[in-house]
A and B are shown apart, each in its own frame.
Chain A
Amino acid sequence: MSERNFMKLEFASRSENEGFARVTVAAFVSQLDPTLDELTDLKTVVSEAVTNAIIHGYNNRPDGTVTIVAEMDGDTVYLTIEDQGEGIDDLELAKQPLYTSKPELERSGMGFTIMENFMDEIEISTAVGIGTKIKMKKRIESKKALFN
Chain B
Amino acid sequence: MSLHIELEQHRKALIVRLKGELDHHTADAVKTRMEDALLKGNTTHIILSLKDLSFMDSSGLGVILGRYKQITARGGKMVVCDVNPSVYRLFEMSGLFKILSIQDNERQALTSLEVVS
A residues with a Cβ closer than 8 A to B are 15-16, 18-20, 22-23, 37, 40, 43-44, 47-48, 51, 54-55, 97-98, 105-111, 113-114, 117
Of the candidates A43, A110, A113, the one having the most CB atoms from chain B within 10 angstroms of its own CB is A110
Residue of A nearest to B58 (CB): A110
30 contacts between A and B (CB under 8 A): A15-B23, A15-B24, A16-B25, A18-B23, A18-B24, A19-B1, A19-B21, A19-B23, A19-B25, A20-B1, A22-B55, A40-B55, A44-B86, A47-B55, A48-B57, A51-B57, A51-B59, A54-B24, A106-B27, A106-B31, A107-B58, A107-B62, A108-B58, A108-B62, A108-B94, A110-B58, A110-B61, A114-B57, A114-B93, A117-B93
- B86-A48 in contact (CB<8A): no
Contact of B61 among A22, A23, A108 (CB under 8 A): A108
List the A side residues contacting B95 at CB < 8 Å: 98
B65 within 8 A of A: yes
B66 within 8 A of A: yes
- A114-B58 in contact (CB<8A): yes
List the A side residues contacting B90 at CB < 8 Å: 44, 110, 114
Residue of A nearest to B87 (CB): A40
By secondary structure, the A interface counts as helix
Size category of the binding interface on chain B:
20 to 34
Kindly provide the distance from the CB of B68 to the nearest chain A CB, expressed in whole angstroms. Answer: 11
B residues with a Cβ closer than 8 A to A are 1, 21, 23-25, 27, 31, 55, 57-59, 61-63, 65-66, 85-86, 90, 93-95
- A51-B61 in contact (CB<8A): no
Contact A47/B57 with A19-B21, A106-B31 known, Cβ cut-off 8 Å: yes
- B86-A51 in contact (CB<8A): no
Give Cα A47 to B83, complex, Å. 20
Kindly provide the distance from the CB of B57 to the nearest chain A CB, expressed in whole angstroms. Answer: 4
- A18-B1 in contact (CB<8A): yes
List the B side residues contacting A18 at CB < 8 Å: 1, 23-25
Q: Give 3 nearest A-B pairs by CB, closest first.
A: A19-B1, A108-B61, A15-B25
Kindly provide the distance from the CB of B26 to the nearest chain A CB, expressed in whole angstroms. Answer: 8
Contact A107/B59 with A40-B86, A114-B90, A114-B93 known, Cβ cut-off 8 Å: yes
List the B side residues contacting A54 at CB < 8 Å: 24
- A37-B25 in contact (CB<8A): no
Residue of B nearest to A45 (CB): B57
Of the candidates B55, B57, B65, B66, the one having the most CB atoms from chain A within 10 angstroms of its own CB is B57
